[in-house]
Chain A
Amino acid sequence: MAHSLRSVTEAPDAPVVAPGHTFASITDKIASVVLTRRTPLGWYATFMLTLGVSGMLAAALTYLVVKGIGIWGNNQPVGWAFDITNFVWWIGIGHAGTLISAILLLFKQAWRTSINRFAEAMTLSAVICAGIFPLMHTGRPWLAYWLVPYPNTMSMWPNFKSPLVWDVFAVTTYLSVSALFWFVGLIPDLATFRDRAQSRVGRVIYGALAMGWRGSAHHWQQYEIAYLLLAGLATPLVVSVHTVVSFDFAVGIIPGWHTTLFPPYFVAGAIYSGFAMVLSLLIPIRAAYGMQDFITMRHLQNMAKVMLATGLIVGYGYTVEAFMAWYSGNKYETFMMWNRMTGPYWWSYAALITCNVVTPQLLWFKKVRTNVPVLFVISIVVNIGMWLERFVIVVTSLHRDFLPSSWGRFSPTVWDFATYFGTIGLFLMLLMLFLRFLPMISIFEMRTLLPAARIDEEALEH
């Protein structure tokens, strides 16, 4: 650890923390956003806007429960449409949070420190939004507890040979473990807030959440082991979650779904879209809160590089998918791919390739990676591209499968759009609450990055 931190903090052109900071200044700067500084007007404006959009979501879902999922455009043969597209999109976005906080921790990437807290909060909001879609798609969401194995008067149990039940376990485990990981990371910072809160209410609430954390060496010993083990557990978990999500498709026999390529291709796509979303959110937030000292150009550049790398993997996935459709010699697979490229939804495939494969090639250039507005635009384009990817997989595979007599078309209704944009509102609203009430950057981990945190072992007298 000492070695990697040193090499990072001493790199002349790319520090992870701007020089001149002390333990106190880091603490005060991050804590002041919540505890002392006046809440910016922009926060209120964004919060009210996203609250309104969440209200639209609530209205759309209420109408859905009253009328049934017939209000969506889903119908035979496209029984999965916007809902599953959105579900996979949101889950994928969540994956970057876990990647940043767990996998980069295990790889000792010190630069993750200033973005992991925010990315984990993003994971939680994204998984909450994701969960709404399959829940509503069941058609009778008030009976969703039937998915849970519990002894009941019908003497029936879930079918554990179905990937959809695996998905229930994967997503609920993912939500639980992400919440645990996030909360454990917060404990020392909640203690800081408890000790620095101005109001009595703040002291009581942060104090209760900090649970009496004292920062003693005994605390830290158990804490560090727990944190590291959680990172080690979250790493295979995050890979398994999107693998299981891909099983929802790959275990089915629909042409375009039934392929062994899906698990790795889905996981890479998830990380790709997640990093794009982290960039889309952090670029405006670091400017709004003046956090350029902590979320430096180095962070933005590194995230751009991860996007480029995962984007290339995803591009490779598209290539292999098309190649295998031809090479298999299976006429249904071949037709599916041809139909995907030239059929009625050709525009979605063309847009997908433009957004996900062509646009990120710009990130090869350092000029692009260091240009914040351009980076922001690219991240938005990739977000759109990754949504299109799931749309292409779901809709173009389903709408023309084996029998031409069962072919059909899908077109979304206004309720499809209201639900989708509604979840974006909910997602942003939850993040606004997070920014207002919790430390957006892990304070205690930032302290460890300072040169003053280094213990000079040779100077100690034993």
Chain B
Amino acid sequence: MATVHHPHIHGLMAEFVDANALVAATYRAHAEGYRKMDAYSPFPIEDLHDALGMHHSKLPLIVLIGGALGCLGGYLLQFGTNAVLYPINVAGKPFNAWPMFIPVTFECTILGASLAAVLGMLALNGLPMPYHPVFNVPRFALASRNRFFLCIEARDPKFDLSKTRGFLETLGPREVTTVGD
């Protein structure tokens, strides 16, 4: 296994000066057969999803479930408290006066869906993550400013320290760095 050969290496990282070079390089690496890799940019670039062969996100489904749970929970809260546990007669309205329960049900739906969106996004991204090897590269600090990085990871079956480095050098990077684990 590749990981056995490179026990202290996370991967190889190429730095690019502009976004187009990163997208082109990522397409090339994917065509070359590399799969365990990630591209880093200071702003979202949709073309990278395609270039990396990424799958659809599960997040919309999570948000839908969060919203449905909020909706159901909001209604049941009102039904349970105002119609079952503590029925109050307000102006002769039925105990289960569903039109009066719409506003709170709506707010709970939004709250459930929003919490699901944020927590789901963090969970799918594995955040919070206190340590990640890419931060061992000093110049990676520029990934949140103006530079673009492509990292091919050592766990990729095709990874070979010298061959992969040679391949990355052909993509016109500013430099290629070995990422310690």
Contacts and interface: CB of A to CB of B under 8 A. Distances in A.
Q: Do A and B originate from a single complex? A: yes
Interface of A: 22-24, 27-28, 149, 155-163, 165-166, 169-170, 173, 176-177, 180-181, 183-184, 188, 191-192, 194-196, 208, 211-226, 229-230, 233-234, 236-237, 240, 244, 247, 444-445, 447-448, 452-453, 455-457, 459-462
B146 A23 contact: yes
Given A212-B132, A226-B121, A247-B103, A157 B86 contact: yes
Where chain A touches its partner, the secondary structure class is helix
Contact of A188 (B26, B108, B144): B144
The 5 A-B residue pairs whose C-beta atoms are closest, nearest first, are A212-B129, A211-B128, A23-B146, A226-B121, A157-B81
Interface in B88-113: 88, 90, 93, 97, 100-101, 103-104, 106-108, 110-111, 113
B82 A192 contact: no
B44 A224 contact: yes
A455 B47 contact: yes
Given A219-B125, A233-B110, A160 B81 contact: yes
Interface string B1-43: 0000000000000000011100110111001000000111111
Contacts of A156: 86
Interface stretch (B54-62, B154-162, B173-181): B54-62
Q: How large is the interface on B (under 10, 10 to 19, 20 to 34, 35 or more residues)?
A: 35 or more
A69 B67 CA distance: 39
Contacts of B77: 149
Interface of B: 18-20, 23-24, 26-28, 31, 38-49, 52, 54, 57, 59-60, 63, 67, 77-78, 81-82, 85-86, 88, 90, 93, 97, 100-101, 103-104, 106-108, 110-111, 113-115, 117-118, 120-122, 124-132, 134-135, 141-146
6 contacts: A160-B101, A163-B103, A191-B144, A233-B113, A233-B114, A452-B18
A230 B129 CA distance: 23
B117 A229 contact: yes
Nearest to A174: B107
B110 A173 contact: yes
A188 B117 CA distance: 16
A199 B123 CA distance: 30
Nearest to A212: B129
A226 B117 contact: yes
A213 B104 CA distance: 35
B105 to A, nearest CB: 9
Contacts of B27: 460-462
Contacts of A183: 118
A192 B144 CA distance: 5
Nearest to A1: B46
A218 B57 CA distance: 9
B114 A215 contact: no
A24 B146 contact: yes
Given A215-B40, A448-B44, 11 more contacts: A27-B146, A170-B107, A192-B42, A211-B122, A212-B129, A217-B41, A222-B57, A222-B125, A444-B42, A445-B43, A455-B46
Nearest to A237: B110
Given A211-B129, A214-B143, A223-B121, A157 B107 contact: no
A184 B121 contact: yes
Contacts of B47: 455, 457, 460
Given A24-B145, A214-B143, A218-B54, A177 B110 contact: yes
Contact of B130 (A155, A166, A212, A234): A212
Nearest to B142: A195
B130 to A, nearest CB: 6
Contact of A453 (B19, B40, B49): B19
A441 to B, nearest CB: 14
Contacts of B23: 455, 460
A222 B145 CA distance: 20
A218 B43 contact: no
Contacts of B129: 211-212
Given A214-B40, A447-B43, A159 B90 contact: yes
B132 A214 contact: yes
B174 to A, nearest CB: 14
A225 B20 CA distance: 23
Contacts of A220: 41, 43-45, 48
A157 B93 CA distance: 17
A173 B113 CA distance: 11
A212 to B, nearest CB: 4
Contacts of A155: 85-86
Contacts of A452: 18-19
B111 A177 contact: yes
A62 to B, nearest CB: 32
Given A211-B127, A236-B110, A216 B85 contact: no
Nearest to A188: B144
Given A161-B93, A220-B41, A173 B127 contact: no
B107 to A, nearest CB: 4
